Structure 1
Amino acid sequence: MIIKNKGMFLETLINNSISLLNDNQGFIYKMPVNNSIISIEDNIVTARLNKNYFCDYIGLWNGVYLEFEAKETEKEFFNLNNIKKNQLEKLLLVDKNSGCGFILIYFHLYEKLFLLNIRELKELKNKKIPFSYFQDNFLEINLNGINFDFNEIFNHLVSYTL
């Protein structure tokens, strides 16, 4: 099955939620995709994706550096192979340097969003993590229509990290 606009739902949800953040507490930015245009012909752009040095989003919240990836799945499980090696390495580096590295994972079948701290990811042995495991072991983010409260996430992460 080919998913059109893969990843755009969660990205829209995150961007809507970022717009509600109080600037006095912190900020989050969406990192642009790093690419090189190869050619433009008849309104068709051919480009090569370059290696990104950051994950999807970076930010600062109450003095704590944040970096995270946003992933979606149409299945009843999340495959850890969807996390690229450089993304994993970057999130581990952020954690090692007293920042908060995490992944937000959205399950379309259940319309549920979960937070997976990079420390928790290191503990997982299986590559395919079923939805039920997320329910039992990870923080579920309460969705409010087309956004959610980042304060809930950050309070959880900062207390977990520090």
Structure 2
Amino acid sequence: MILKNKGKFLETIINKSIQMLEINNEGLIYKMPVNSNLFEVNNNVIKAKLLNNTFCDYIGLYKGFYFEFEAKETEKEYFSVTNIRKNQYTKLKKVHENNGFAFILVYFHKYESLYVLNIIDILSLKNKKIPYEVFAEKYIKIDLDNGNINFNKIFNHLINYTL
């Protein structure tokens, strides 16, 4: 299956939710740009090579706590941990080791459900594929409120979960 705008649905919701956080002065979240090397421009066609980013998709601060997170989507009935690139995994692990919050937002299109997968849980996984049922039983579900993500719920959960 080819998904032309793979990942754009969740990214759009996150970016809209970030605007609400800023309006309400409840935290700082920044979308990190994708690093690339431009190598050809021909008839309005730009070719570039994507590079590994130093940061994850999003970084920020909430009540003095630093965090980084990735946004992932799946059309399947499971989330494959292999969708996390090595540099993303390494960065999330380093953030956690330095007392920051590191997690992945996982959106299941089939179930229209969004979950938080903490790096602590990823580090203890035995399988590469996590079925939707495991997310529903074990991980925190985030309901969309008028199309917005309640980041306060996520961050407060992570604060209480780790302190």
Q: TM-score range by the shorter chain?
A: over 0.9
SS at match of 2:114: strand
Aligned to 1:70: 71
User: Cα distance, 1:24 vs. partner?
Assistant: 4.1
Aligned to 1:2: 2
TM-score, with structure 2 as normaliser: 0.96
Aligned to 1:103: 104
**RMSD, aligned CA:** 1.0
* Structure 2 segments unaligned to the other structure (5+ residues): none
* Structure 1 segments unaligned to the other structure (5+ residues): none
Q: State the distance in 2 between where 1:141 and 1:47 align.
A: 35
Q: State the distance in 2 between where 1:145 and 1:74 align.
A: 22
Aligned to 2:46: 45
Greater shift, 5-14 or 145-154, is seen at: 145-154
Greater shift, 20-29 or 147-156, is seen at: 20-29
Amino acid at match of 1:32: P
Amino acid at match of 1:43: N
Is contact 1:98-1:161 (8 Å) kept? no
TM-score, with structure 1 as normaliser: 0.97
Identity rate of aligned residues, in percent?
56
Q: State the distance in 1 between where 2:133 and 2:157 align.
A: 21
Q: State the distance in 2 between where 1:11 and 1:3 align.
A: 14
Amino acid at match of 1:5: N
SS at match of 1:38: strand
Q: State the distance in 1 between where 2:82 and 2:107 align.
A: 16
Q: State the distance in 2 between where 1:21 and 1:51 align.
A: 28
Amino acid at match of 1:99: G
- 1:87-115 deviations in whole A, cap 9, x for unaligned? 01101110111100000000000000000
Q: State the distance in 1 between where 2:158 and 2:51 align.
A: 30
Q: State the distance in 1 between where 2:27 and 2:149 align.
A: 16
Aligned to 1:17: 17
CA separation of 1:146/1:24 partners in 2, compared to 1, >3 Å: closer, same or farther?
closer
User: Cα distance, 1:144 vs. partner?
Assistant: 2.0
User: Cα distance, 1:5 vs. partner?
Assistant: 0.6
Q: Which 4+ residue blocks in structure 1 deviate beyond 6 angstroms?
A: none
